[in-house]
């Protein structure tokens, strides 16, 4: 159970980090321009 909770917390933190990356660089833009800005700035993805 502890490993399962740790996995859930880790995945939730990673999703929150991705959403913060989206909304820090894209405050209020539609989904069509989202892919273009991701292609222009590949360094925003910290994978």
Domain housing 13: 2-44
Token output for 10:
């880790």
Query: DSSP per residue over 1-47, as a string?
Result: -HHHHHHHHHHHHHHHHHHHHHHHH-SS--HHHHHHHHHH-GGG---
Domain count, the chain: 1
Distance CA 47, CA 37 (A): 17
For the entire predicted model, the pTM comes to 0.42
Is pLDDT above 80 for 16? yes
Mean pLDDT (the chain) is: 69
The predicted pLDDT at position 23 comes to 64
């Amino acid at each position: 159970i502890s490993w399962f909770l740790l996995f859930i917390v880790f995945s939730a933190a990673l999703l929150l980090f991705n959403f913060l990356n989206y909304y820090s660089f894209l405050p209020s833009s539609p989904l069509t321009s989202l892919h273009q800005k991701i292609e222009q700035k590949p360094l925003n993805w910290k994978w």
